[in-house]
């Protein structure tokens, strides 16, 4: 949508700061000027001070960070301006220097406008980015999970933004295949973890054929993943028994099929799903 003449006039009339200068300056990138002008008519913005502050902060950025911030505003209008205005200069620089995906930045700004992501979440995100515990790929996965609203088969609908950030802090969100809470609300997640001794890659390389042989209803890797999810999600049901893992964390035993060995899913103390396999030693546990 193009900015109307009225949008630009409103900025010129109500701003006496950087936004007024920007809209009047024909030498500034047109997309950025249009985004600022449209922001003036956006419900995301409460005052022209927000627009002035956002323009000032963006102009203080340099290099790729400056370009990314301007593109965000040009593509999201008021939502992008609101995000920029919310962050202080240090956090703003951290965000735009760490994340180069236009899609991720746009999605995050809209989620902040909608209230799915709050100010405290932005603080945690920028802290994680600054410490190296999160990168652009992790933030992309985070924003996609939030956008799914739990509708995907691998994300539970009752998980909160805080829950997903917990995974981002403790693990590799970009490598995460499954996030689920157990019957007591504890967050568990499964990473592919290629080549490592724990995680979905190891489960498949060591136990995939065994799982297919043991359970006639399981026929694919997706089935295995959903079986792991079932063991954790239904941990308060009669079909699951939860025990302490000797090395810390929990073991979830799922009664998959009558006459078969229970599936044992082990998690670490921090919630990482370590392993899953039919447990011969647990035969008769549900008799």
Q: What is the pLDDT of residues 167-180, one digit of tens each?
A: 999 999 999 999 99
pLDDT (0 to 100) of residue 155: 75
pLDDT at 3: 46
At 13, the pLDDT band (50, 70, 90 cuts) reads very low
Amino acid 153: pLDDT: 59
Q: What is the C-alpha separation between 264 and 277, in angstroms, rounded?
A: 6
* pLDDT (mean) for 240-263: 96
The larger pLDDT score, comparing residue 213 to residue 42, is at 213
Phi/psi for 153 (5° steps) reads -70, -15
Confidence at 7, pLDDT banded by 50, 70, 90: very low
Report which of 175, 150, 183, 206 is spatially closest to residue 254, judged by C-alpha positions: 183
Mean pLDDT lowest for which of 42-46, 86-90, 99-103, 245-249?
42-46
On the CB side of 265, how many CA atoms lie within 13 Å of its CA?
28
Helix segments in 30-88, DSSP class H = 30-39, 48-60, 63-76, 78-86
**Mean pLDDT for all residues in the chain:** 89
For residue 269, the number of C-alpha atoms closer than 13 Å in the C-beta half-sphere is 3
> pLDDT tens digit string along 19-62?
555 555 544 467 788 888 888 888 898 888 898 899 999 999 99
Is the pLDDT at 264 greater than 90, yes or no?
Answer: yes
Q: How many residues does the chain have?
A: 287
Q: Nearest Cα to 75, choosing from 102, 57, 101?
A: 102
Q: Is the pLDDT of residue 75 over 70?
A: yes
C-alpha span between 204 and 226 (Å, rounded): 13
Which segment of 19-28, 107-116, 134-143 scores lowest on mean pLDDT? 19-28
Q: Classify the C-alpha dihedral 266-268-270-276 as positive or negative.
A: negative
Higher pLDDT, 36 or 206: 206
CA distance 132 to 98: 9
Question: Is residue 6 scored above 60 in pLDDT?
Answer: no
Which pLDDT tens digit goes with each residue over 226-237?
Answer: 999 999 999 999
Q: What pLDDT was estimated at residue 20?
A: 54
Helix (H, G, I), strand (E, B) or coil at 60: helix
Please state the pTM of the whole predicted model.
0.84
Q: Do 175 and 137 touch, CB atoms closer than 8 A?
A: no
pLDDT band at 18 (very low <50, low <70, confident <90, very high): low
The CA-based angle 200-205-210, given to 5 degrees, is: 100
Q: Looking at the DSSP assignment, which residues form a beta bridge with residue 277?
A: 264
């Amino acid at each position: 949508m193009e900015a109307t003449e009225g949008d630009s006039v409103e900025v010129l009339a109500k701003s006496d700061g950087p936004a007024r200068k920007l809209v009047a300056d024909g030498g500034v990138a047109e997309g950025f000027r249009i985004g600022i002008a449209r922001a003036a008519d956006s419900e995301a913005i409460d005052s022209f001070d927000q627009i002035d502050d956002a323009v000032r902060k963006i102009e203080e950025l340099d290099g790729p960070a400056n370009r990314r911030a301007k593109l965000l505003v040009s593509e999201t209008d008021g939502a992008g301006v609101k995000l920029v205005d919310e962050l202080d200069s240090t956090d703003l620089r951290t965000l735009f220097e760490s994340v180069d995906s236009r899609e991720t930045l746009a999605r995050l700004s809209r989620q902040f406008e909608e209230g799915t992501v709050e100010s405290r979440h932005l603080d945690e995100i920028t802290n994680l980015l600054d410490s190296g515990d999160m990168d652009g790929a992790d933030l992309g996965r985070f924003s996609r999970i939030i956008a799914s609203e739990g509708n995907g088969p691998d994300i539970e609908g009752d998980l909160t933004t805080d829950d997903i950030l917990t995974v981002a802090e403790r693990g590799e969100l970009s490598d995460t295949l499954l996030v689920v809470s157990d019957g007591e609300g504890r967050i568990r997640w499964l990473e592919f973890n290629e080549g490592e001794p724990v995680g979905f890659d190891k489960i498949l390389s060591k136990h995939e054929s065994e799982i297919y042989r043991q359970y006639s209803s399981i026929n694919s890797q997706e089935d295995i993943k959903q079986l792991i999810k079932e063991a954790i999600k239904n941990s308060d049901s009669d079909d699951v028994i939860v025990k302490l893992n000797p090395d810390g964390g929990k073991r979830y035993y799922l009664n998959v099929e009558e006459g078969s060995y229970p599936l044992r899913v082990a998690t670490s103390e921090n919630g990482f799903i370590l392993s899953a396999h039919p447990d011969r030693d647990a035969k008769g546990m549900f008799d």
